[in-house]
Structure 1
Amino acid sequence: MFSLIQLESFVAVAEELHFGAAAERLNMTQPPLSRQIQLLERELSAKLFTRTSRNVQLTAAGEVLLPNARRLLDLSRRTSIEVSRVSTGDSGSVVVGYTSVAGQSVLPALLSTAARHLPDVTLVLREAVSIDQLDALSSGNIDVGLLRPVVTRPGVQSCLVKKDRLVVALPSGHHLVTGKGVLIKELVGLPLMMYSTNEARYFYDLVIRLFDSVGSKPTIAQIASQIPALMALVAVGLGVSLVPASAMDFAPPGVVFEELTGPDGLQDLNHSDIFIAWEEGSVNPAAQRLREVFIESLETVEGSSIPENASLPKKS
């Protein structure tokens, strides 16, 4: 089988029609160049050039070979470039998981960053709740996830990308809609649209902790796993709910919001931050580059430096 150096030698001679000029172009002497042409002719069982003391001409076989040799060399160069870009993370494919709220509040910034810095990286988007994303990261089914810390998962690393908090979602016209905030105690006894203990365990535990802080329990009326579903239940007047502040931007008509207030220490409990997470053993260079450029684009989160190696907090 002929080699790339043989094809390069042939193309140089075919374009220069002069062995000395072709050798100079290839930064080699004429004897090894002639040797490469001889080897190629032997491999193809065809004479490629006719040579006289005055000129060099392509044979009919050489005329046929020239465009194909150029295509093969071009393919070789492009393949080398593409493989190099994939190995450095400048090209390739990244599967990104995201929650419904992260899809509205964080994902657009991630997509914008990728389009600006990694235009040759293809992003495959998959919406999933946080616990399913953690499973997908561990199994390699997604490369990065935009999620909330559900549990500590060995091998999963993360970085804070957006601070968030729970606010009170109320049906329009509710007596607690004052614009002055709602005490957690004022929610005691009201029908609460609550999170599923399976798919939305993080939010379920957070709501329970907030009620525990005032020595009370919520009155759970309906259960859903997704925040849009909870807000839809509130919109039709079935009760109230506690949802992330970032969800206010895509609330349905008929839902209004109040800040959650309460005793000292409530604000330390009331946070529902969003993290970008990844499997530390991931071998996808494009995923690593995406993560790096996105974190670099978020120099601070509400004035606080983002620790690159911040890990998921433990479940309470």
Structure 2
Amino acid sequence: MFDLGHARSFVAVAEEMHFGRAAAKLNLTQSPLSRQIQMLEQTLGVTLLDRTTRAVRLTPAGRTFLAEAYRVLAAAESAARITRRAARGESGVIRLSFTAASAYRTLPHVVAHVRARLPEVDLVLAEMVSDEQILALEENRTDLAILRPAPILQDPKSSIATAPLVSERLLLAVPRGHRLATGRVPTLQDLDGEAFVTWSPKGGRYFIDLLDTLFETGGVTPRIVQRVNQVHAMLALVGAGIGIALVPASTRGNSMADIRLRPIALPATAQPELLLAWRRDNANPCLVSVRTMALEISTES
């Protein structure tokens, strides 16, 4: 079977129709070039060039082989280029998991940023609660995760590394006819005794701990009437008049006619965070590139 060097030599001769000029183009002397063409013809078992003392012409077989040589060389160059880009983390596949609440604002920003800067990287997206994402990272079923803080992630021996992505305010979600839907900016004390929709332990341990600390510090005891796993379910229940809720500000992208999202006076510490997480030993060449692109939104937000 011929090699790529022989194909390049033949293409140079076919384009120049002159061994001397083709040899100069390839930085060779004429004799080695002639031997390469002869070896190529012997390998293929056909005559590719008609040679005279005055001219070089392609045979019918030579014209056919020239088209194939162009195709083979282009494919080889493409393969080399794709391989180099993959090794640099500029192409490939990243499995990206995310929480439901991040899908309103943070996830679209991350995806748009990565696609603009790394168009040859495919993002495979999967929605999961944070605990599921941690397990998926530990089992190497996801490369990168947008999730909420968890105690296990603070363990220095953990196989998972994290970096802050964004933090946001909490907003008060109330039905449109509720007493807190209009007027002055509500305070934490206004929530005392109110029917309250909040997270279930399965999907929202981070928010449960955050709100419990907030209510205990403020001396406030809302009346929990319903627990759900996802923020869109929480907003639906608020819209149905079941109760009120504190939700991340990013949920403003989920407009519902029956609810109002209002600013509320809260301590500065009451700002839920989103982290970017990955396995420390993940060898996916794309990971560093995509992680860097994703973290850039934290400086742009």
**How does the TM-score come out when normalised to structure 2?**
0.89
* Correspondence list, 1:256-267, <5 A: 256-261=260-265, 266-267=267-268
* Correspondence list, 1:159-178, <5 A: 159-178=163-182
Unmatched runs of 5 consecutive residues or more in structure 1: 302-316
Alignment partner, residue 202 of structure 1: 206
Alignment partner, residue 83 of structure 1: 83
Alignment partner, residue 26 of structure 2: 26
Q: Which amino acid aligns with 1:237?
A: G
Q: Which amino acid aligns with 1:141?
A: R
CA contact (8 A) 1:165 1:273 kept: no
Q: C-alpha distance in 2, partners of 1:187/1:297?
A: 33
Q: C-alpha distance in 2, partners of 1:261/1:183?
A: 5
Q: Which amino acid aligns with 1:23?
A: A
* Correspondence list, 1:1-316, <5 A: 1-153=1-153, 154-215=158-219, 217-261=221-265, 266-268=267-269, 270-299=270-299
| Offset, 1:139 | 2.5
Summarize deviations over 1:105-135 as a string: whole Å, max 9, x none.
Answer: 1122223322332222222222222222222
- Report the 3-state secondary structure (helix = DSSP H, G, I; strand = E; otherwise coil) of the residue aligned with 1:274: strand
- Report the 3-state secondary structure (helix = DSSP H, G, I; strand = E; otherwise coil) of the residue aligned with 2:104: helix
Q: C-alpha distance in 2, partners of 1:288/1:139?
A: 19
Unmatched runs of 5 consecutive residues or more in structure 2: none
| Offset, 1:251 | 3.8
Percent of residue pairs identical = 36
CA contact (8 A) 1:91 1:121 kept: yes
RMSD: 2.1
CA contact (8 A) 2:196 2:224 kept: yes
CA contact (8 A) 2:166 2:298 kept: no
* Structure 1 residues 298 and 193, CA gap change in structure 2 (3 angstroms): closer
**How does the TM-score come out when normalised to structure 1?**
0.86
Q: Which amino acid aligns with 1:206?
A: L
Q: Which amino acid aligns with 1:95?
A: R
